[in-house]
A = this chain, B = another copy of it.
Amino acid sequence: MAVEKYDVVVVGAGPVGLTLSTCLQRWGYKIKHIDNRPGPTPTGRADGIQPRSLDLLQNMGLKRQIMTHEPAKVYEVAFWDPNSQGIHRTGTWASCPKFIDARYPFTTLLHQGLIERVFIEDIEKHGGQIQRPWTITGFQNDGKDPHYPVEVSLAHVDGTLSETVRAKYLFSGEGARSFVRDQLGVKIHHKDPIAHVWGVMDGVVRTDFPDIKMKCTIHSDAGSIMVIPRENNMVRLYIQIASSTDPDWNPRKSATPEEVQARAKEILKPYTISWDRVEWFSVYPIGQGIAERYTLDERVFMGGDVCHTHSPKAGQGMNTAFLDAVNLAWKIHHVESGFASREILKTYESERKLIAENLLNFDAKYAKLFSSRIPSAGEVAGATTSTSSTPMANEPTENEFVKTFKESCEFTSGYGVAYNPNTINWSSTHPAQSPLFLSYQKGTTLRTGRILIPATVTRVVDANVVHLEQEVPLNGSYRMYVFAGKPGRTNKAFKDLATYMSAPTSFYSSFMYKDTSVDRYHETHNPHSSFISICTVFNAPRSQIHIKEMLPGILAGYRDHVYADDVWDLRVPDAKAAAHTKMGLSEEDGGIVVVRPDGYVGCVVKLVEGKEPCEALDSYFGVLLGKKLGGERATL
């Protein structure tokens, strides 16, 4: 019997594995996805979706399904410190302060199992499934089949069934205990040697503690608690039970639910608390760890908790997992589609490991502060208050914990993710060189390796007011935003761009569909190629934009992606063209923004007349492809 072949074998159906499968299943890959549990997470576990992750879920078309479960939303964090009566609130701070330009400036709290189900339904809708309870028993990149170099052995957890398949890639999203990581011999590096034992309890409570529906960090003389509101009127309490810095440290130290409740009652005094019901309770040791490698051969990859573990309190675990998966998914897709050389697969580790390291650094600092006893009020001045009218107020009298928290808001909201310059993220040292490339504060406020700044515009075809950054769904394509400035002024530049892009060896023409017999009249995002989706934004009122007359050549295929930059924005109140202005581009002359399929800016190019803008793009994409693009342009 022939061995079954898959594009990717995914092990583990937690957030990272499910996100990877969801992307690749949608983009047409053949996936074998197994998980060793009988079903999705029944209760507890990760639950915090950060603002940036909500953007991502929206981009995947899954936000509405998440919100259907009526999750709790955290807009502010309250800080409570000890005083002579017990505890008192010393201040609050926005969870995602206004200096961050976020569409959804709150953290969404929902039990992991419900989130997993949203992904699973999407996978099933696209013809995939999760095979349960199955586990991985062996694998090797033996290259016996050059197209499917990895052999993977799988078995039912009860040992009654097994199968061996071949795959182009193997991905481990197994969680902190990973068979794949062990087999590869990849070491976990402990950034911070301190380990902790945590208790966590989800339940419905009765209390006169006023901030029970807020995220709170509570330090009292009896210990510390973190309060996280949940869906269904629940609340989660995190309580640290032991730390390796304790004199009697025992990593196997445990606690019963009753002990944790008694501790909580003590910490919350003078307020009272009781439980109607407890939905989930767990005690678990957490050590900070990061895998030394995310892949050894760019065939067997790992992500999520396999690669990084840390304390749960900053609510980052699931969010980091989402981004690991999306980062890898589009790179595999572009390699397999012939849009990029295998070299870009190396950037998965270099990009995502940096973020994990930043996370661990933050977490170590935060966790350490959280578990240290805070002096009673009076010993130090407390955190000061931030109101929604003055969220950027900066007061000097904060304790170290509050200060760390505030400094970290951009990072914890997900908007601080910044990938370093590399082949994908243009910089002045990038092999592609042209005087037209713009960089941060030099012609644009966009930064390569960071997400596109959000902007609200009017879609021309139907006059809908839309979020520009969401207009191209997560379809695996690069996104090119042509900010076309003032139509009269940029007519020729815009037309030239379309002309040179039509040249047979341009970055655009090189990846056009080979099969032109397929009817793509109704294909709005990818009329000519799945390599790229193109949006054009004019600095003009919607009623003055005439698509047929103003969109030259191939660009006319993107008629549903033409926008008027005519919506006023509070953040740039004096701008005439808010989207242009927010990107730091000239309202008159515009500019071209290339965004990676995962939403991060790749490069920004000046829009001028002639062949040069297209040449700059040819050279940028040529570096990714590993061969020159646009070579024949001179003959045009």
Q: Which residues of B contact A206 (CB under 8 A)?
A: 521
Q: Confirm or deny: A138 has a beta carbon within 8 angstroms of a beta carbon on chain B.
A: no
Contact A465 to B388, CB < 8 A, known contacts A64-B64, A64-B67, A543-B92: yes
Q: Confirm or deny: A160 has a beta carbon within 8 angstroms of a beta carbon on chain B.
A: no
Residue in A75, A91, A543 whose Cβ sees the most chain B Cβ within 10 Å:
A543
Residue in A72, A388, A560 whose Cβ sees the most chain B Cβ within 10 Å:
A388
Q: Confirm or deny: A82 has a beta carbon within 8 angstroms of a beta carbon on chain B.
A: no
A507-558 CB contacts (< 8 Å) to partner B: 521-522, 541-544, 546-548
Contact A541 to B387, CB < 8 A, known contacts A64-B67, A208-B548, A233-B522: yes
Closest chain B residue to A72 by CB distance? Answer: B462
Partner pick for A385 among B68, B204, B461, B543, CB 8 A cutoff: B543
Q: Contact between B214 and A463 (Cβ–Cβ < 8 Å)? A: yes
CA distance A356 to B308 in the complex (A): 64
Q: Contact between A462 and B210 (Cβ–Cβ < 8 Å)? A: no
Q: Contact between A462 and B214 (Cβ–Cβ < 8 Å)? A: yes
Q: Confirm or deny: A76 has a beta carbon within 8 angstroms of a beta carbon on chain B.
A: yes
Residues 423-466 of chain A, each 1 if its beta carbon lies under 8 Å from chain B, else 0 = 00000000000000000000000000000000000100111110
Contact A389 to B75, CB < 8 A, known contacts A92-B543, A547-B210: no
Q: Confirm or deny: A139 has a beta carbon within 8 angstroms of a beta carbon on chain B.
A: no
Q: Contact between B73 and A387 (Cβ–Cβ < 8 Å)? A: no
Q: Confirm or deny: A229 has a beta carbon within 8 angstroms of a beta carbon on chain B.
A: yes
Residues 78-104 of chain A, each 1 if its beta carbon lies under 8 Å from chain B, else 0 = 000000000000011000000000000
Q: Confirm or deny: A568 has a beta carbon within 8 angstroms of a beta carbon on chain B.
A: yes
CA distance A462 to B67 in the complex (A): 17
What class of interface size applies to chain A in its complex with B? 35 or more
Q: Confirm or deny: A491 has a beta carbon within 8 angstroms of a beta carbon on chain B.
A: no
Contact A213 to B461, CB < 8 A, known contacts A67-B64, A522-B233: yes
Partner pick for A92 among B204, B213, B463, CB 8 A cutoff: B463
Q: Confirm or deny: A567 has a beta carbon within 8 angstroms of a beta carbon on chain B.
A: yes
Partner pick for A541 among B389, B544, B567, CB 8 A cutoff: B389
Q: Kindly report how many copies of this chain are found in the complex they form together.
A: 2
CA distance A160 to B25 in the complex (A): 50
Partner pick for A542 among B106, B387, B566, CB 8 A cutoff: B387
Q: Which residues of B contact A546 (CB under 8 A)?
A: 210
A100 to chain B, nearest CB (A): 15
Q: Confirm or deny: A420 has a beta carbon within 8 angstroms of a beta carbon on chain B.
A: no
Q: Contact between B389 and A568 (Cβ–Cβ < 8 Å)? A: yes
Q: Confirm or deny: A386 has a beta carbon within 8 angstroms of a beta carbon on chain B.
A: yes
Q: Contact between B465 and A75 (Cβ–Cβ < 8 Å)? A: yes
Q: Which residues of B contact A522 (CB under 8 A)?
A: 204, 233, 276
CA distance A234 to B521 in the complex (A): 14
Q: Can you pick out 29 interface pairs between chain A and chain B where the beta carbons lie within 8 Å of each other?
A: A64-B64, A64-B68, A72-B462, A73-B464, A75-B458, A75-B463, A76-B542, A91-B543, A106-B464, A204-B522, A208-B548, A210-B461, A212-B461, A213-B461, A213-B560, A276-B522, A385-B541, A385-B543, A385-B544, A386-B543, A387-B541, A387-B543, A387-B566, A388-B458, A388-B463, A388-B541, A388-B542, A388-B564, A389-B568
Q: Interface residues, chain A, CB within 8 Å of chain B? A: 64, 67-68, 72-76, 91-92, 106, 204, 206, 208, 210, 212-214, 229, 233, 276, 385-389, 458, 461-465, 521-522, 541-544, 546-548, 560, 564, 566-568, 570
The 7 A-B pairs of least Cβ separation, nearest first, read A387-B541, A76-B463, A213-B462, A75-B463, A385-B543, A213-B461, A388-B566
Beyond the given A73-B464, A208-B548, A213-B461, please list 16 additional residue pairs across the A-B interface where CB-CB is below 8 A: A64-B64, A64-B67, A68-B68, A72-B462, A75-B458, A75-B463, A75-B465, A106-B464, A210-B461, A210-B547, A210-B548, A213-B560, A214-B461, A233-B522, A387-B541, A389-B566
